């Protein structure tokens, strides 16, 4: 069935919705990525063009074992969230940025780029149809997962001739099972995530697969996440694989109570092309100066981290991403060192940035940046 508000989509909803009590039981404790809402949007790409898409019941896909993305990894994805505000209105956070990054990830993997209007149309149709799946408890939201992969059944190693976009959603709570508790990072010297001119800046499936062995190793060291170093010198901090990294510095020799304007947030710059340009990272770089902090995008060496931890100028560090929002880092460890940050507790700067970002996302604080995208 076509609807005028969705010029490129057929809308075929489920015949019978889930019972409200059953849905509510899920929304009361959604976890992260464990449950899925009732619909998905699919848009095929064939004969060189994006076809008409459909919103259909969420369910399995039928694929040939020869589906080329299963073999050669032409698969990119995104992650964005929709929020229910206290007055019942619904907003997505900066979906245009995800649409653009989705297209640039696809380009890097020689896949077709979905135009932003089609991305936003699919996202709005999905969120409207599944609006009852947006939880309302603090720190919960509807996580939207767009995925594009090669569907052509062919074993030649070349860009496929057929692709499918699938966009579905999942009601979520905190990404880490311990919620906002600080996480411990393992600085990996044995694994690298991305090399210059590789796919580090693309949100592609292979980058995440490549991170899992290091993550398993980190776990044996008592760490939840891996902090990756640059591939060439193994000297500069890059990112955590699924999250970007920030540190908070106060002037050397200053006491624990340095004024706000003397605190600097530092995050690795994107010039090497090996880091994912996070939407949350970008948002923090814009929010922080308005909260009185200085910001710097520049290389951060492990030596600098270690020295700053020793002389007390490294007061806090945090990880950020759509899923993790802003998660404090309690300690950094490697084969050679271990530093505990801010006594292993959430620092005031991390907390203030988190409160501001979440305040905007949940409509409790003004949004002077125009980031919230209304979904009527």
What one-character-per-residue DSSP string does 131-154 give? GGGS--STT-EEEEEEEEEE--B-
Task: Identify which of 252, 242, 250, 373 has the alpha carbon closest to the alpha carbon of residue 320.
Answer: 242
Q: Which CB contacts under 8 angstroms, 24+ apart, belong to 215-224?
A: 215/241, 217/186, 217/188, 217/190, 217/191, 218/185, 218/186, 218/188, 221/186, 221/333, 222/184, 222/333, 223/183, 223/184, 223/185, 223/186, 223/331, 223/333, 224/176, 224/183, 224/184, 224/185
| Among residues 97, 172, 323, 349, the one that binds ligand COI under rule CB under 6 A | 323
Nearer to ligand COI by Cβ, of 204 and 288: the residue is: 204
| Among residues 242, 268, 328, 330, the one that binds ligand COI under rule CB under 6 A | 242
SS3 45: strand
Q: Which tokens in the block code for residue 99?
A: 């649409």
| Among residues 39, 53, 74, 79, the one that binds ligand COI under rule CB under 6 A | 79
Query: Binding segment for ligand COI among 124-132, 180-188, 232-240, 319-327 (CB under 6 A)?
Result: 319-327
| Among residues 321, 328, 330, 347, the one that binds ligand COI under rule CB under 6 A | 321
> Closest distance between ligand COI and the C-beta of residue 204, in Å?
11
Query: Binding segment for ligand COI among 20-28, 51-59, 298-306, 315-323 (CB under 6 A)?
Result: 315-323
> Closest distance between ligand COI and the C-beta of residue 147, in Å?
11
SS3 117: helix
Nearer to ligand COI by Cβ, of 79 and 95: the residue is: 79
Q: How many residues does the structure list for the chain?
A: 376
The one-character DSSP state at 262 is: G
Nearer to ligand COI by Cβ, of 215 and 322: the residue is: 322
CB neighbour burial string for 337-365, b if at least 16 within 10 angstroms, e if fewer: eebebbeeebbebbbbbbebbbebbbbee
Nearer to ligand COI by Cβ, of 249 and 323: the residue is: 323
Size of residue set near ligand COI by CB under 6 A: 5
> Closest distance between ligand COI and the C-beta of residue 76, in Å?
11
Nearer to ligand COI by Cβ, of 240 and 372: the residue is: 240
The one-character DSSP state at 113 is: P
SS3 23: helix
Query: Binding segment for ligand COI among 127-135, 281-289, 293-301, 318-326 (CB under 6 A)?
Result: 318-326
Contacts of 305 (CB under 8 A, 6+ apart): 237, 247, 314, 332, 339
> Closest distance between ligand COI and the C-beta of residue 327, in Å?
11
Nearer to ligand COI by Cβ, of 75 and 323: the residue is: 323
Site for ligand COI in 342-361 (CB under 6 A): none
Nearer to ligand COI by Cβ, of 40 and 160: the residue is: 40
Site for ligand COI in 168-197 (CB under 6 A): none
Query: Binding segment for ligand COI among 87-95, 101-109, 132-140, 321-329 (CB under 6 A)?
Result: 321-329
> Closest distance between ligand COI and the C-beta of residue 305, in Å?
23
- Residue nearest ligand COI, Cβ-based: 79
Nearer to ligand COI by Cβ, of 137 and 209: the residue is: 209
Q: Which tokens in the block code for residue 185?
A: 């990072």
SS3 71: helix
Nearer to ligand COI by Cβ, of 6 and 168: the residue is: 168
What one-character-per-residue DSSP string does 287-354 give? HHHHTT-EEEE---BHHHHHHHHHHT-EEEEEEEETTTEEEEEEEEE-SS-EEE-GGGS--HHHHHHH
Our finding on whether 322 is near ligand COI (CB under 6 A) is yes
Our finding on whether 330 is near ligand COI (CB under 6 A) is no
H-assigned helices in 91-195:
95-108, 116-129
Nearer to ligand COI by Cβ, of 263 and 323: the residue is: 323
Binding site for ligand COI (CB under 6 A): 79, 242, 321-323
């Amino acid at each position: 069935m076509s609807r005028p508000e969705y010029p490129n989509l057929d809308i075929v909803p489920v015949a019978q919705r889930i019972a409200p009590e059953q849905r509510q039981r899920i929304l009361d404790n959604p976890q992260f990525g464990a449950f899925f809402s009732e619909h998905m949007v699919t848009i095929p790409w064939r004969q060189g063009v994006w076809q008409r898409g459909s919103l259909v019941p969420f369910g399995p896909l039928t694929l040939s074992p020869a589906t080329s993305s299963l073999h050669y990894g032409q698969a990119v994805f995104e992650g964005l969230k929709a929020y229910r505000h206290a007055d019942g209105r619904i907003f997505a956070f900066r979906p245009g940025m995800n649409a653009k990054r989705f297209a640039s990830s696809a380009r890097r993997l020689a896949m077709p780029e979905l135009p932003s209007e089609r991305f936003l149309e699919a996202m709005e149709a999905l969120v409207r149809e599944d609006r009852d799946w947006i939880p309302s408890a603090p720190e919960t939201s509807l996580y939207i997962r767009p995925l594009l992969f090669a569907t052509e059944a062919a074993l030649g190693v070349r860009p496929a001739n057929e692709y499918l976009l699938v966009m579905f959603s999942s009601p979520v709570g905190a990404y880490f099972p311990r919620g906002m508790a600080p996480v411990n990072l393992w600085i990996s010297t044995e694994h690298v995530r991305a090399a210059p001119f590789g796919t580090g800046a693309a949100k592609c499936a292979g980058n995440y697969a490549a991170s899992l062995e290091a993550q398993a190793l980190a776990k044996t060291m008592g760490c939840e996440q891996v902090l990756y170093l640059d591939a060439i010198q193994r000297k500069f901090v890059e990112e955590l694989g699924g999250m970007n990294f920030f540190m908070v510095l106060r002037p050397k020799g200053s006491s624990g109570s340095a004024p706000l304007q003397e605190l600097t947030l530092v995050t690795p710059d994107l010039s090497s092309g090996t880091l994912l340009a996070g939407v949350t990272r970008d948002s923090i770089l814009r929010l922080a100066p308005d909260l009185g902090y200085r910001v710097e995008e520049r290389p951060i060496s492990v030596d600098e981290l270690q020295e700053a931890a020793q002389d007390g100028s490294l007061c806090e560090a945090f990880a950020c991403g759509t899923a993790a929002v802003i998660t404090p880092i309690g300690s950094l460890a490697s084969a050679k060192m271990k530093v505990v940050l801010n006594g292993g507790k959430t620092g005031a700067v991390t907390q203030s940035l988190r409160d501001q970002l979440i305040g905007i996302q949940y409509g409790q604080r003004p949004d002077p940046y125009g980031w919230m995208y209304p979904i009527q």
